[in-house]
Amino acid sequence: MKNYSDAIIRLKEKDLNFRIHLLEENLLTEDYHAEMEKIHIDNARKLKHIIKEIGFPTVQKVGQEAYDAAWLIIQHAISLPVFMKSCLSLMKKEKKDINPIHIAYLEDRIHFFEHKPQLYGTQFDWDENGVLNPAPFDDLDKVNERRKKLHLNTLEQQTSHLRNEAKIEKENPPSDWEQKQLQFEIWRKQVGWSK
């Protein structure tokens, strides 16, 4: 399985190296960079092929680093909803060899793109007032209860943490929030998150 492990890790490195390049060139903007999307799609398709060969790349099959890399590739495959959903299903089946936090993040990410309430409050976005907040979730007490079972901090603590991180990394809200929402909805329909 070493070749599979190395291949998955290389895909992750390609993704992260290009992101660093975009940051250094000040090209990581509000829009989903076309070349970044292309890398995400290409990585997901290559990972899909590996999954067909060996099943879901669990820690037992490919080692911790490649397993973590596979999860990152899946999280970034936002232009391929069917792939993301199929991976979530596989992860839930393989539960014993999968980090439950990864399942929570992927499930929330899918809910975010489907405009469904999150269960764990892992996905954040800028609101119309330029404030970073959790995307809609079902119920604060239930979310915190679920987070506690996964040994995650409370949603309130995570919100504070991510707002501070955004300041440190000089992340800013979109310059035109309404326009960004319109573009997001067009993109969601194009890639199949909504009809």
Instruction: Render pLDDT for 120-175 as a digit per residue (tens, 0 to 9).
Output: 999 999 999 999 999 999 999 999 999 999 999 999 999 999 999 988 877 889 88
126 secondary structure, DSSP code: E
Note the pLDDT of residue 2: 66
Q: Are 193 and 49 in contact (CB under 8 A)?
A: no
Note the pLDDT of residue 147: 98
Q: Are 33 and 22 in contact (CB under 8 A)?
A: yes
Could you tell me what percent of the chain has a pLDDT over 70? Answer: 97
| Interatomic CA distance for residues 135 and 77, integer angstroms | 19
Confidence band for 10, pLDDT divided at 50, 70 and 90: very high
Note the pLDDT of residue 190: 95
Note the pLDDT of residue 105: 98
Q: Is the confidence at residue 28, as pLDDT, over 70?
A: no
Q: Residue 37 corresponds to which amino acid? A: E
Q: Is the confidence at residue 1, as pLDDT, over 90?
A: no
| Interatomic CA distance for residues 180 and 141, integer angstroms | 30
Find the helix or strand (DSSP H, E) in which 142 lies. Answer: helix 140-149
| Interatomic CA distance for residues 61 and 66, integer angstroms | 9
Confidence band for 59, pLDDT divided at 50, 70 and 90: very high
| Interatomic CA distance for residues 103 and 105, integer angstroms | 6
SS3 (DSSP) at 187: helix
pTM for the predicted model, two decimal places = 0.93
